[in-house]
Amino acid sequence: MKKSIGSSKIVVEETNNEEEKPMLFLDDIKVEFESQEFKGTHIEISPDKDKSVLFLESVKSTQTVWCPYCGGSVYIYENGQVKLKDIPIQRGTTHIWNFFIHRYQCNCCHETFTEEIPFKYPGTRITYRAANWIKGFLQQKMSIKAIQELTGIHWDTIRKVQREIMDEAIWERKKMLREEDYKPRILAVDEFAIHKRNLRDGFGAGRYLMGRKRQSDEGFLKVL
């Protein structure tokens, strides 16, 4: 079966040759496509059909890579693998993108560095597609636990995506207020929360609030 999507050619071919199949998998589906200097080669599916792995190999030429430290030319120092979770093919399954990537060494300064994966969501082991999937659930006000159960993605990863959404929203809000030259008229303080923070990092106002009953509000504002 052959399909054309944009400028990319995708070829999918099921193989039944037992000698070509890894022992861990029953099905091996060959695929051919290139995107952002990676080439998809094949998909492997587990015997229980609960896990699939898409294998991708780097096709980047060293002639297009330059040392980030000195700008010199590089050569392939060694190869490695990175596995990222992607959107599952169907609910209750796991879909992995397995990247074969290069590690380079500079011919000039001899520093080494690893090839970047443009599909990888920063600071995580998931794809951008999976991160956008999570963002959609968060926008529907689903809890982190519910999203974890639905997607199979780790709680900490979902929390990181959520925190970045919140940080972006706060930054946009601050930007808007600065542009409007906004001046706050009311100061709200959660005494208990500040006190908790004091226990962690010595926040000065927290120490003050422990004895606030013996102090005036004016003195409290001076601490802030």
154-173 mean pLDDT: 92
Q: In whole angstroms, how far apart are CA 66 and each of 107, 113, 116, 159?
A: 10, 10, 13, 35
Listed in sequence order, the residues at least 6 apart from 17 whose beta carbon sits closer than 8 Å to its beta carbon are none
pLDDT-wise least confident of 74-78, 92-96, 100-104, 120-124: 92-96
Average pLDDT over residues 65-91: 94
Task: Name the pLDDT band for 184 (thresholds 50, 70, 90).
Answer: confident
Residue 192 pLDDT class (50, 70, 90 cuts): low
Give how far Cα 33 sits from Cα of 4, 8, 56, 126, Å. 10, 6, 9, 20
153-to-22, 127, 128, 183, 208 alpha-carbon distances in Å: 26, 11, 13, 42, 42
Asked if residue 119 has pLDDT above 70, the reply is yes
Phi-psi region of 208 (alpha: psi -120 to 50; beta: other; left: phi over 0): alpha
Residue with the two structure tokens 């930054």: 171
Is residue 28's pLDDT more than 50?
Answer: yes
pLDDT at position 220:
53
**Residues paired with residue 43 on neighbouring β-strands, in sequence order:** 29, 54
Give the pLDDT mean for 113-129: 96
- What pLDDT, on a 0 to 100 scale, did the predictor assign at position 191? 60
- pLDDT of 186 reads 79
Least confident of 17-31, 64-78, 100-114, 154-168: 17-31
Predicted pLDDT of residue 178: 87
Q: Is the pLDDT confidence value at 224 over 90?
A: no
Tell whether the model's pLDDT for residue 182 goes beyond 90.
no
Is it the case that residue 222 has pLDDT exceeding 60? no
